[in-house]
Amino acid sequence: MPFPFTLTATEGRARTGVLTTPRGDIRTPAFMPVGTAATVKAMSVDQVKATGADIILGNTYHLMLRPGPERMERLGGLHAFMGWDKPILTDSGGFQVMSLAGISKVKEEAVTFSSHIDGSKHILSPERSIEIQADRIGADISMQLDECVAWPAEEPRARAAMELSARWAARSKAAFGTRETQGLFGIQQGSTFENLRRESSERLIDIGFDGYAIGGLAVGEGHQAMCEVLDYAPDMLPADRPRYLMGVGKPVDLVEAVWRGVDMFDCVLPTRAGRHGQAWTWDGPINLKNARFAEDRTPLDPTIDCPASSQTSKAYLHHLIRADEILGKTLLSWHNIAFYQAVTAAMREAIAHGRFEAWRKDFHARHVSN
């Protein structure tokens, strides 16, 4: 019995709804903060909860290397380990292997790689990835193991990766089996080739998943090329199940993807850029290192109910970032996650009232043009 996904309103291709899981409801459009190594970097669980996030992401690649799957299970799973009792989605690890691990080999059977931490050898098959995600980490939503090709890709290479991912989708589903309290998402591949994305979608639908991710984007193609794929890719996936665009993105990427029918997002940007002094605001990004903030006593955003956004002066944030203080990284990460939650909340509200088209125009005028 898949998690119920109820669409409460639609406007054009945009949708707003609720994905109901045993650990809590996920309001869509949803932004999912990335908690790679069992922490949303520089933030406490209470601070993440205070932003309104309904779900966070965990990373199979990092967690299988440290603390290790069997230790994680002995410690009660990721929810107990980190004290987060709402939903957790984990990626399957293949993408991180290709971008982080030492020597790695992709074979039909599995991906083999050496740890970027201590060089130890590891194997990640579709079956092992499901076991780690669902049984050792205890993720509420697991992702199939897939192969994401770099951009740009030649069609034959993109086809090979899409077909391998489709075969791994079937093996992931077989290994996952039927579970009452956990879900499994398939991942659409096919790079920038419409025909490949259609074949990928058809094969995933035949297998049947609780939700469908759009993979293979946010790999350097840029906003324009991503939007061109999103002009057709979301509609190839079932309208009655969640659509998750992996690794996206900047606020404007979220707006344009929601406009084209995407429901769920993850991105390291708000926390990673935050640690380096960048803050997102309704008027676009600013960097607090800039001298113009040295005596600016105004907060980043008085309308956001988050201490980092409305009760902290830019001058103080400027000082903390310039001094490379840990608190600066925490406060800017906290603000950025709260800002992303404010953006997704505003989109849910706009779609629910049939005024997302106007809201999108205002957003561009205010946020993008600067």
User: Which residues contribute to the site for ligand NEZ (CB under 6 A)?
Assistant: 34, 36, 57-59, 91-92, 94-95, 143, 146, 148, 187, 215-216, 218-219, 246-247, 266
Nearer to ligand NEZ, 162 or 350 (CB): 162
Least distance to ligand NEZ from the beta carbon of 115, Å?
17
For residues 10, 16, 20, 23, the Cα torsion angle rounded to the nearest 10 degrees is 180
- Sheet containing strand 121-124, edge to edge, reads 104-106, 111-114, 121-124
Residue among 248, 167, 175, 239 nearest 215 (CA): 248
Nearer to ligand NEZ, 219 or 306 (CB): 219
The answer to whether the CB of 96 falls within 8 A of the CB of 102 is no
b/e sequence 93-112, b meaning 16+ C-beta within 10 Å: bbbbbbebbeebebeeebbb
Residues 166 and 312: their CA atoms lie apart, in Å, by 49
CB of 150 to ligand NEZ, least distance (A): 10
- Of residues 54, 91, 263, 301, which has the active-site annotation? 91
C-beta of residue 142 within 8 angstroms of C-beta of residue 188? no
**Cβ-based nearer residue to ligand NEZ, 19 or 304:** 19
Q: How far is the CB of 135 from ligand NEZ (least distance, A)?
A: 18
Q: Are 89 and 57 in contact (CB under 8 A)?
A: yes
Would you call 25 a catalytic residue per the annotation? no
Report in angstroms how near the CB of residue 301 gets to ligand NEZ at its nearest: 26
Report the C-alpha gap between 306 and 337 in whole angstroms: 10
CB 218 → ligand NEZ: shortest distance, Å?
4
Could you give the 3-state DSSP secondary structure of residue 102? Answer: coil
Of 104, 82, 84, nearest in space to 95 by CA: 104
What is the closest distance, in whole angstroms, from the C-beta atom of residue 173 to ligand NEZ in the complex? 15
Let me know: does 202 contact 185? Beta carbons within 8 Å.
no
Closer CB to ligand NEZ, 16 or 144, in the complex: 144
Place of tokens 């034959």: 156
Nearest Cα neighbor of 254 from 186, 151, 343 is 343
Name the active-site residue from 140, 253, 263, 266: 266
The CA distances from residue 31 to 63, 141, 161, 238, in Å, are 22, 15, 27, 20
266 is catalytic: yes
For ligand NEZ, give the closer residue by CB, 92 or 278: 92
Which positions make up the binding site?
Answer: 91-95, 146, 189, 216
Number of Cβ within a 10 Å radius of residue 319: 16
Closest CB to ligand NEZ among residues 158, 350: 158
Binding residue numbers for substrate: 91-95, 146, 189, 216
Report d(CA 233, CA 220) in Å as an integer.
18
| Residues that are catalytic | 91, 266
